[in-house]
């Protein structure tokens, strides 16, 4: 098992967190860190604890042990709304779209405040996701799966979020839409640090700079994405990918 | 010009070409001209009750349809409004404009404070807890109003008179062929108040606070993750809606000039409000008008079906017997509406146009 090595001034540092869902001890000592300017991918089989880790960072689950530091500040005891206001955006697995609101209203709800800077950020959003401009007045629930995913990813960008947690964005999407999504997330890398939880190895390897492998609620391996792409043994053992 | 400003400009441009805009004008014109078009007091009474209940149902829609909180005691605030006017004008006998305004203010203040307390106490735990607590408070108020005879008049209620131009025997002459009595002036005053209430509610649900409320209804954990203390927003919505309900109640008292536990605080009024929201459509605000109209019109005119059938088909006993069962037809109509408009009348129409826009 590879030990997590400290790197100078990470934007997020997770140390030995344990989390329970009901009676189930899901996270059993997850440790990792996220460096600025990178896309860190969390990989592992279903039930390994990747999504639970994101929910714990966001404060939606309280860790029973361990610490989470965002820019040196301990956040593991904070409420979700306080964590969000620090500048951490979250795109959950179910996308968390407000289906009965329009695309515009979805953005306005996400805005912590509306000012010149927010409007500038909206221009960036339209640049990265031009389709959203077309459906600005449409009810979000009526959008296609790909459009909903783009809305979900774009929505946190209206605030000054320094870290974006994205949970399985490719889930249920056609390959052509996934390619489009990869292009969009590649563009947003310029504006925010991303932690990506992804089952689709093609997407994960196209976007990731660093990776952490999860198994049974623990981080078991980490390194640069190029290493993982070439390491068939690791891929087979932890992701079930061969050839 | 950034894209958001461009969208806003385009939106302003199409506002006057929107069919909904003309529908609203038409609806308002109908309410304004009702006293001139229909001379019957019965019609006027039904239309004004539609107006008052539209405001009450819309206020309930703010908490149920827009925020997703189930309250079973919203009529409590309606009753507070009714009794506030009733006690001032009837029990205390302070019949003046100043005291009438004071009755409105006290109703708003009491309702606002009470709903904040109930909300802080019960919304933090579970939504269903809120439903049970509100129902308990309404039942408590109902019992209190029938027991405190010296203040509320007990089960007999309070009949009262209104000041100046609102008094029944007041008349300022004729206009467009009708006599402008205290009744007609009360009608216009209540219409004006309910219109202002409706505009307030529209502003509220389209404000940033309103959007947050809708996001809580759609996905509360997501709203929390976006940085909102959701239960505080729920308390705000609940207290706002209760203040509106109190004003609607005070207006109702002005119109009927009588308050009693059955007419202002009973569970049956709460059930009517629920029916009106379902028929009109939750989360639409305008649905309240259609829901109230459906219930009020069918209740007022279906019992007269027998007379109508009797005049069309005299001497057909079967037809006369069939037309007796007006409650059966009422139920049938309700089922048909729920079947063909699963999201209420306004909700289903809105969804249809929204889907057409997206496709």
Residue scoring higher pLDDT (A231 or B116): B116
* Cα separation, A226 vs A235, whole angstroms: 12
Computed over every residue of chain B, the mean pLDDT equals 87
CB contact under 8 A, B226 and A133: no
Check pLDDT > 90 for residue B244: yes
Q: Do B225 and A126 touch (CB under 8 A)?
A: no
Burial class, B224, CB count within 10 angstroms (exposed 0-12 / middle 13-18 / buried 19+): buried
Per-residue confidence (pLDDT) for residue B137, from 0 to 100:
92
Per-residue pLDDT for B241 more than 90?
yes
Looking at the complex, report in whole angstroms how far the Cα of residue B267 sits from the nearest Cα belonging to chain A. Answer: 30
Give the pLDDT of residue A6: 47
The mean of the pLDDT values for chain A is 86
Average pLDDT rounded to a whole number, residues A116-133 = 84
Contact A90 B225 (CB under 8 A): yes
pLDDT number for residue B80: 96
**B2 neighbourhood in chain A, CB within 8 Å:** 119-120, 122-123
In the predicted model, is pLDDT for residue A2 greater than 60?
no
pLDDT band at B23 (very low <50, low <70, confident <90, very high): confident
Q: Taking a C-beta distance cutoff of 8 angstroms, is the pair B131, B122 a contact?
A: no
From chain A, pick out residues whose CB is under 8 angstroms from the CB of B7. 104, 136-137
The confidence score (pLDDT) of residue B15 equals 65
For A208-221, the pLDDT digits (tens) are: 999 999 988 999 98
Residue B39 has pLDDT above 70, yes or no: yes
Q: Is A105 on the interface with B (CB under 8 A)?
A: yes
The answer to whether the Cβ–Cβ distance between B218 and A100 falls below 8 Å is: yes
pTM: 0.81
A17-21, A48-52, A131-135, B30-34: least confident range: A131-135
Q: From chain B, which residues contact A within 8 Å (Cβ)?
A: 2-5, 7, 208, 211-212, 214-215, 217-219, 221-229, 283, 351, 354-355, 357-359
Residues of A in contact with B209 (CB under 8 A): none
Residue B14 has pLDDT above 70, yes or no: no
Check B227 against A143: CB less than 8 A apart. Answer: no
Exposure string of A209-238, with b = 16+ CB inside 10 Å and e = fewer, is ebbbbbbebbbbbbeebeebeeeeebbeeb
Q: Do A108 and B208 touch (CB under 8 A)?
A: yes
SS3 content of chain B, % helix, strand, coil (to 5): 80, 5, 20
Cβ-based contacts of A96 with chain B (< 8 Å): 219, 221-222, 225
Banded model confidence at residue A4, pLDDT cuts 50, 70, 90: very low
- Interface test with chain B among A57, A58, A80, A114, by most B beta carbons within 10 Å: A80
- For residues A4 and A219, the answer to whether their CB atoms sit within 8 Å is yes
Contact B104, B84 (CB under 8 A): yes
pLDDT of residue B350: 81
B357/A138 touch (CB, cutoff 8 Å), yes or no? yes
DSSP A64-101: SEEEEEETTEE-TTS-HHHHHHHHEEEE-TTTT--TTS
CA distances from A20 to A60, A61, A131, A217, B39 (A): 12, 8, 39, 10, 70
Between B159 and B12, the more confident residue is B159
CA distance B295 to chain A (A): 27
Whole-number pLDDT of residue A126: 87
Q: Tell me, what's the pLDDT at A1?
A: 40
> Is residue A163 within 8 Å of A83, Cβ to Cβ?
no
The per-residue pLDDT for range B219-232, each reduced to its tens digit, is: 888 888 888 888 89
What residue spans of A131-242 are helical by DSSP H?
131-134, 145-154, 175-188, 201-207, 225-230, 232-234
Q: What percent of chain B has pLDDT over 70?
A: 93
Q: Is A122 on the interface with B (CB under 8 A)?
A: yes
Measured between beta carbons, which residues in chain A are less than 8 angstroms from residue B1? none
Give the residue-averaged pLDDT of B319-329.
77
Min mean pLDDT across B6-15, B41-50, B162-171, B314-323 is at B6-15
Is the pLDDT at B240 greater than 60? The verdict is yes
Three-state SS for B341?
Answer: coil
Q: Check if A135 contacts B (Cβ < 8 Å).
A: yes
Class of domain A12-94+149-239: alpha beta
* pLDDT band, very low/low/confident/very high, at A242 (cuts 50, 70, 90): low
ipTM: 0.72
Read off the pLDDT of residues A75-86 as tens digits, 9 standing for 90 and up. Answer: 999 999 899 989
User: E strand or H helix at B181, and its extent?
Assistant: strand B178-181
Does B217 sit within 8 Å of A100, measured CB to CB? yes
* B225·A105 Cβ contact <8 A: no
Residues of chain B with pLDDT > 90: what percent?
45
pLDDT above 90 (res B129): no
**pLDDT tens string B50-63:** 999 999 999 999 99
Question: Which pLDDT tens digit goes with each residue over A147-166?
Answer: 888 898 888 888 888 999 99
Q: With bands split at pLDDT 50, 70 and 90, how would you rate the model's confidence at B359?
A: low
Residue of A nearest to B229 (CA): A81
* Per-domain residue ranges of chain A: 12-94+149-239
Q: What is the mean pLDDT of residues A45-66?
A: 91
Instruction: Please tell me the predicted confidence (pLDDT) of residue A3.
Output: 42
Task: List chain B residues with CB under 8 Å of A128.
Answer: none
């Amino acid at each position: 098992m590879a030990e997590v090595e400290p790197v100078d001034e990470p934007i997020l540092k997770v140390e030995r967190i344990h989390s329970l869902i009901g009676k189930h001890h899901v996270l059993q000592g997850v440790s990792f860190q996220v460096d600025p300017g990178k896309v860190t991918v969390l990989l592992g089989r279903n039930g390994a604890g990747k999504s639970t880790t994101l929910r714990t960072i966001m404060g939606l689950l309280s860790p029973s042990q361990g610490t989470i530091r965002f820019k040196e500040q301990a956040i593991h005891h904070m409420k979700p709304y306080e964590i969000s206001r620090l500048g951490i955006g979250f795109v959950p697995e179910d996308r968390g779209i407000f289906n009965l609101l329009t695309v515009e209203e979805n953005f306005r709800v996400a805005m912590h405040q509306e000012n010149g800077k927010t409007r500038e950020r909206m221009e960036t959003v339209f640049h990265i996701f031009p389709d959203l401009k077309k459906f600005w007045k449409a009810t979000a629930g009526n959008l296609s799966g790909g459009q909903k995913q783009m809305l979900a990813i774009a929505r946190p960008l209206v605030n000054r979020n320094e870290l974006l947690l994205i949970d399985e964005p490719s889930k249920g999407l056609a390959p052509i839409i996934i390619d489009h999504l990869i292009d969009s997330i590649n563009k947003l890398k310029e504006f925010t640090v991303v932690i990506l939880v992804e089952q689709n190895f093609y997407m994960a390897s196209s976007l990731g700079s660093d990776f952490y492998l999860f198994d049974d609620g623990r981080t078991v391996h980490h390194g640069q994405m190029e290493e993982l792409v070439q390491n068939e043994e690791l891929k087979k053992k932890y992701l079930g990918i061969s050839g | 010009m950034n894209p958001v400003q461009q969208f806003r400009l385009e939106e302003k441009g199409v506002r006057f070409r929107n069919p909904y805009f003309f529908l609203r004008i038409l609806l308002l014109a109908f309410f304004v001209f009702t006293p001139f078009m229909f001379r019957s007091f019965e019609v006027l009474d039904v239309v004004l009750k539609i107006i008052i209940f539209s405001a009450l149902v819309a206020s309930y829609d703010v908490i149920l349809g827009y925020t997703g909180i189930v309250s079973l005691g919203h009529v409590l605030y309606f009753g507070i409004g009714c009794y506030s006017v009733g006690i001032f004008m009837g029990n205390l006998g302070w019949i003046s404009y100043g005291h009438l305004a004071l009755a409105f203010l006290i109703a708003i203040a009491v309702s606002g404070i009470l709903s904040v307390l109930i909300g802080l106490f019960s919304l933090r735990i579970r939504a269903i807890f809120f439903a049970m607590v509100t129902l308990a408070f309404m039942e408590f108020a109902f019992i209190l109003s029938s027991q405190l005879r010296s203040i509320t008049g007990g089960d007999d209620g309070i009949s009262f008179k209104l000041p100046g131009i609102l008094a029944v025997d007041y008349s300022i002459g004729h206009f467009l062929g009708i006599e402008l009595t205290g009744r007609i002036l009360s009608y216009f005053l209540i219409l004006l108040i309910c219109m202002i209430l409706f505009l307030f509610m529209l502003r509220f649900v389209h404000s940033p606070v309103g959007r947050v409320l809708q996001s809580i209804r759609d996905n509360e954990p997501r709203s929390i993750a976006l940085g909102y203390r959701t239960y505080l927003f729920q308390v705000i919505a609940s207290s706002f809606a209760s203040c509106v309900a109190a004003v609607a109640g005070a207006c109702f008292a002005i119109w009927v000039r009588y308050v009693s536990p059955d007419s202002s605080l009973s569970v049956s009024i709460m059930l009517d409000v629920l029916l009106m929201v379902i028929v009109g459509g939750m989360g639409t605000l305008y649905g309240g008008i259609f829901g109230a109209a459906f219930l009020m019109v069918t209740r007022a005119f279906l019992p007269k079906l027998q007379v109508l059938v009797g005049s069309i088909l005299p001497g057909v006993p079967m037809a006369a017997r069939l037309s007796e069962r007006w409650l059966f037809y009422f139920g049938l109509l309700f089922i048909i509406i729920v079947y063909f408009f699963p999201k209420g009348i306004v909700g289903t129409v809105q969804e249809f146009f929204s889907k057409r826009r997206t496709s």
